[in-house]
Amino acid sequence: MAEHPEISVLTPYARSLGIKLAKWDGDTPVMRVDFVEAVEGRPEHYHGGATGGLLETAGYAALRALLAQRDREAVLKPINITVQYLSAGKSRETYASGRVTKLGRRSANITVEAWQDNPDRPIATAVMNVLMA
Amino acid sequence: MTETAKFDPRAATPVLTSRGHSGWLGLAYSDHGEDWVELTLPWRTDLLGEDGQQVLASGPIMSLMDMASGLAIWKKMDRFEPIATLDLRVDYVRPAREGASVYGRSQCYRLTRSAAFVRGLAHDGDVDDPVAHIQGVFMKIGGADTREVPNG
């Protein structure tokens, strides 16, 4: 079994929304949120903001995991995020994981995907830039 | 001759934010114009972005802007019908001040038969000193939204 860094991948906001670390896929943390009222937008569907929050949380988690592997410490600050909503988030659990596309000295570029039944059919994707102070 | 507007963001917001994600965040009506709506997101310590730092997470700002955008679109349409976010970009230009409510103002600047284009900003008291800028596209999705909105 692979050793995974002891990292805090959940912000107070993420914990409050009910996001959990579901598992590790290799070196990448996979986040999960259940369909509870706090994520619901139009009836029986995810709110775009909740899906966005899950994507963002998975993006930060991927970056924290990579920084921990490299023994780097940083305070992370959001620069921006662009979310593409591909299909409606239905009333079941949703997963998300990110990939650090570019790790620079001061900023990182991360791509993130969220899915429900099938990881090959994402319901939303995001690209985000994060400042490392 | 002016026709009476049917979709009233002031009346619809409490209904739409009474439960679900918007209710959880505590979003509330602030102001509106012909094609824009402003909502508020109250300060809450369980919405912080990092343990030990009094900075609001970015996720709730995205939700605030998504919801304000939806209301701006319904205001511009002058009716309530199902829409879904297609694309949303948020630039976080500075952190929100500790303890401050955040206001999200979004404008629907173009409506076509199938798409609605929005732009907006989030601020924490001074609209001329924003904390975030957004741009997005929503799609009409057909079907029914079962939520009952006054004069929807």
Q: Which residues constitute the domain of residue B115?
A: 9-140
In tens, the pLDDT along A2-39 reads 567 767 778 899 999 999 999 999 999 999 999 999 99
pLDDT band (50, 70, 90) for residue B3: low
Contacts of B82 in chain A (CB under 8 A): 42
Compute the distance between CA of residue B121 and CA of residue A30 in angstroms, rounded to an integer: 31
Strand residues in A1-133 grouped as ranges (E)? 20-25, 28-33, 76-85, 94-103, 107-115, 124-132
Residue B151 lies in a domain: no
Residue B57 lies in a domain: yes
Residue B54 lies in a domain: yes
Ranking A2-11, A74-83, A102-111, B5-14 by mean pLDDT, the lowest is: A2-11
Q: Is A31:A105 a contact under the CB 8 Å cutoff?
A: no
Residue of chain B minimizing CA distance to A46: B21
* Domains of chain B: total: 1
How much is the average pLDDT of B81-101? 94
How much is the average pLDDT of A75-88? 95
Residue B4 lies in a domain: no
- β-pairing, A20-25 with A28-33? antiparallel
User: Which pTM does this prediction carry?
Assistant: 0.93
Residue B150 lies in a domain: no
How many Å lie between the alpha carbon of B133 and the closest alpha carbon of chain A? Answer: 9
Ranking A61-70, A92-101, B140-149 by mean pLDDT, the lowest is: B140-149
Shortest CB distance from A42 goes to which of B46, B48, B147? Answer: B147
Quick check: B147 and A38 CB within 8 A? no
Q: What is the mean pLDDT of chain B?
A: 92
Contacts of B23 in chain A (CB under 8 A): 37
Residue B133 lies in a domain: yes
Domains and CATH numbers, chain A: 12-132 (3.10.129.10)
Residue by residue, DSSP assigns A45-77 as BB-HHHHHHHHHHHHHHHHHHHHHHTT----EE
Q: Which CATH number is B26's domain given?
A: 3.10.129.10
For testing contact with chain A, the best of B63, B118, B149 (most A CBs within 10 A):
B63
How much is the average pLDDT of B44-72? 90
The answer on pLDDT for B1 being more than 50 is no
